[in-house]
Each structure stands twice: as C-alpha cells, then as structure tokens.
Amino acid sequence: MKAIIPVAGVGTRLRPHTFSHPKVLLNVAGKPIIGHIMDKLIDAGIDEAIVIVGYLGNMIEEWLVKHYNIKFTFVTQTEILGLAHAVWMCKPYVIDDEPLFIILGDTIFDVDLQPVLKSGHSTLGVKEVEDPRRFGVAVTDGNEILKLVEKPDTPISNLAIVGLYFLQQASSLFASLDYLIANKIKTKGEYQLTDALQFMIEGGEKFTTFPVNGWYDCGKPETLLSTNEILLKNNVSIKVYPGCIINDPVFIADSAIVENAIIGPYTTIGEQAVITNTIIRNSIIGNEARVGNIMLDNSIVGNNAFITGSSQEINIGDYSEIRVR
Ligand code: UTP
C-alpha cells in the first residue's frame, strides 16, 4: 500500500534547529523523526511512499533514499498552502480505486497499523486532548464520524485528529480535494485536509476513528524533548565510558566520545559528539557537537555546536559557539 507523507513545512517553531535541518531530520532518541515513522510504516506493510517535500527537501530525499529500500516518489510543494494542497499535489501518482494511508512527517506514533490498513472503510487516528482548539476534531456517534471541524473556536469535541488518515478509496479523497482547490476554500488561511474529509462525509463516505494513545508530537522544543524521553524509555547503554556514570535510559552513538561525565537519564548523544567533564540529562546533543565543563538539563544542542561553561538550560542551533565564564 502507498503512504503519503507531507514534510514540506518550514518548522518555524523549532528554530534555530530548522534553519539548517528540516524538522523531520532532527534526531530524537537516536534517529531522525522521519526514521521512527518510516520504520513503523514498513513494519505495517507500506511498500511505497509519496513524500511531499519543500523546505530543505533535498536533504530529506537524500536521507530517505540512503536508508530505505522502498519505492519513493518525491513531489515538490513550492508554496506552503496547507495540508490539503500538499496531498492534492500527489494526485498524478495515486491509483483511483486503491486505498491510501496519509501520515504527517512529524507525528511519531505507537499504534498497530495492520488492523487500520485492513479496516475496509476510511478511518482517522484520534486522541482525546484537553484543549482541542489547535487541532481538527471529530464529532462521532460513538462509532461513525458525524462531522469534522478544523480548529474549533467552541468546544465541540475533544477528539483531536492527530495526523494518521486511512482512506479506503483514493478517488473520493481527490474528488473532494479538487473541489476544495477549484473553489479556493480555505480555513484559517490554508487548504485544510479536515475540510476535504468533511466534504467526503457530507457526500456519504463512512468514516470511523481509531485511538492513537501513543502519539508523540515533535513540533516544539519542549515536545521534542518529551518525545525523546518517552522513546528512550527502554534504551540501555552497554558500552563502558572511562570515568563516567551513565544513568539509563540514554542513547549514545557509537562514534561519540564521552569522558568524565554523568549522562542521563533521557539523553541522546549524536554521532562523533565529544562530551567531557559534563553532566547532561533530559537533553539532545547533535552530531559532532562539543560539550565540556558544563551542566545541561532540558537542552537541545545542534550539530557541530560548541559549548563550554557552567550550569545552563539552553536551546542552540547548529554551529553555535557559547563560552560561559
Ligand atoms: P505543521 O504546520 O505542524 O509543520 O504541519 P511545519 O509547518 O513544518 O511547522 P511550523 O508550524 O512552521 O513550526 C504538519 C506537517 O504537514 C506538513 C509539514 O511539513 C509537517 O510535516 N505540511 C503542512 C506540508 O507538507 N505542506 C503544507 O502546506 C502544510
């Protein structure tokens, strides 16, 4: 089955890290966000991916082709006009009567997809949230979806649509997207996938929901760090580092050098990073970063960044250099 993966966005909420890397290539728990997603998709039997790229798209293409041996089609979205527009661009590459799976490239999930892909009708992944105002939400009768609303101003439902969509037949989705685009129907300034799905429901298409309890957002520094923590849960470091205390769970790349340090819990150390005389916990340290004589907590340090000094909580991008005296 084909999966559509939109990853064209700029990732503004994750700046400065996304100035030099697309969001989906940021490392969380030892591999890029999109690596976690691809592994789950391939396990579930997805054998072809249509990836919508835009901002720093070449880096994503290169990484995917290097690491996965499935058929990829890359579609370029030059203007970020919304998810519905991104998916609509894939029309030439899908077959009308085939089912489709759509997943946002920044949504790491823990769900058994096998039954979802065999459900026989369209179904959307949902999760109960306290504040649904920044999501598309589903109103159901307990079984079928009655209505979808994008970013509701009034609390109509707390079942948020979390970025996993199974469509039983591609043709009805694309008919709805065609209508949306032809009539320039936007909500909050963008072509919304939620609106296209709502037209399908109004046209009589059966939609149900499936629960996504393991849903790990990576869109902001604090959610990237909490996702890092959750995904590391069972990671144990087996290597011994001289003069170090390793408080599992951690991920330390094999090529990293770690000396006289206390690492963890919940810490990811990237390839060829050099960590000396340092205490780090709840943090993500990028590839080839150099960190010394400092205590870091809840921090994200970009690739090739250099930091030395005292106790800090920081969020610095690639190639930054900080000396705290
Ligand atoms: P987001 O809006 O959450 O991601 O879109 P973003 O735009 O990258 O991040 P911010 O808001 O600037 O911080 C969810 C997913 O949909 C893709 C994004 O790349 C992201 O993976 N998307 C969104 C597109 O591919 N095209 C669009 O027009 C909109």
Ligand 1: which atom is nearest the Cα of residue 79? 28
Ligand 1: which atom is nearest the Cα of residue 23? 8
CA of 109 to the centre of ligand 1 (A): 17
CA of 10 to the centre of ligand 1 (A): 7
CA of 53 to the centre of ligand 1 (A): 10
In which band, very low, low, confident or very high, does the pLDDT at 55 lie, cut at 50, 70 and 90?
very high
CA of 307 to the centre of ligand 1 (A): 30
Ligand 1: which atom is nearest the Cα of residue 80? 28
Ligand 1: which atom is nearest the Cα of residue 220? 13
Cis peptide before 265 (omega within 30 of 0): yes
- Sorted by where each begins, the domain ranges of the chain are 2-223, 236-323
Ligand 1: does its nearest atom lie under 6 Å from the Cβ of 249? no
- Does 311 score more than 70 pLDDT? no
Cα-based angle 162, 176, 80 (whole degrees, multiple of 5): 60
- Does 323 score more than 80 pLDDT? no
In which band, very low, low, confident or very high, does the pLDDT at 38 lie, cut at 50, 70 and 90?
very high
- Does 315 score more than 90 pLDDT? no
* Predicted confidence (pLDDT) per residue in 84-136, tens digit: 999 999 999 998 889 999 999 988 999 999 999 999 999 999 999 988 888 89
Ligand 1: does its nearest atom lie under 6 Å from the Cβ of 151? no
The structure tokens listed for 265 are 């819990």
d(CA 59, CA 22): 8
Q: For ligand 1, pick from 26, 83, 88, 224 the residue to mutate: most ligand atoms within 8 Å of CB.
A: 83
CB 162 within 8 A of CB 127: yes
pLDDT at 20: 94
Ligand 1: does its nearest atom lie under 6 Å from the Cβ of 50? no
Ligand 1: does its nearest atom lie under 6 Å from the Cβ of 86? yes
Residue found under tokens 């082709």: 65
- Smallest Cα–Cα separation from 265: which of 252, 246, 284, 278? 246
Ligand 1: does its nearest atom lie under 6 Å from the Cβ of 78? no
* Predicted confidence (pLDDT) per residue in 195-240, tens digit: 999 999 999 999 999 999 899 989 999 999 999 999 999 788 888 8
CB 270 within 8 A of CB 303: yes
Q: Which CATH number fits domain 236-323: 2.160.10.10, 2.60.120.920, 3.90.190.20, 2.130.10.10?
A: 2.160.10.10
Neighbours of 164 (CB within 10 A): 22
- Does 159 score more than 80 pLDDT? yes
Q: For ligand 1, pick from 4, 5, 7, 21 the residue to mutate: most ligand atoms within 8 Å of CB.
A: 7
CB 213 within 8 A of CB 247: no
pLDDT at 325: 62
CA of 194 to the centre of ligand 1 (A): 14
Topology of the domain comprising 2-223: Spore Coat Polysaccharide Biosynthesis Protein SpsA; Chain A (3.90.550)
| Secondary structure (H, E, C), the chain | CEEEEECCCCCHHHCCHHHHCCHHHCEECCEEHHHHHHHHHHHCCCCEEEEEECCCHHHHHHHHHHHCCCEEEEEECCCCCCHHHHHHCCHHHCCCCCCEEEECCCEEEECCHHHHHCCCCEEEEEEECCCHHHCEEEEECCCEEEEEEECCCCCCCCEEEEEEEEECCHHHHHHHHHHHHHCCCCECCECCHHHHHHHHHHCCCCEEEEECCEEEECCCHHHHHHHHHHHHCCCCCCCCCCCCEECCCEEECCCCEEEEEEECCCEEECCCCEEEEEEEECEEECCCCEEEEEEEECCEECCCCEEECCEECCEECCCCEEECC
Indicate the angle between helix axes 170-182 and 193-202, nearest 10 degrees.
110
Q: For ligand 1, pick from 60, 106, 216 the residue to mutate: most ligand atoms within 8 Å of CB.
A: 106
Ligand 1: does its nearest atom lie under 6 Å from the Cβ of 17? no
Ligand 1: which atom is nearest the Cα of residue 53? 25
Question: What mean pLDDT value characterizes the chain?
Answer: 93
pLDDT at 145: 96
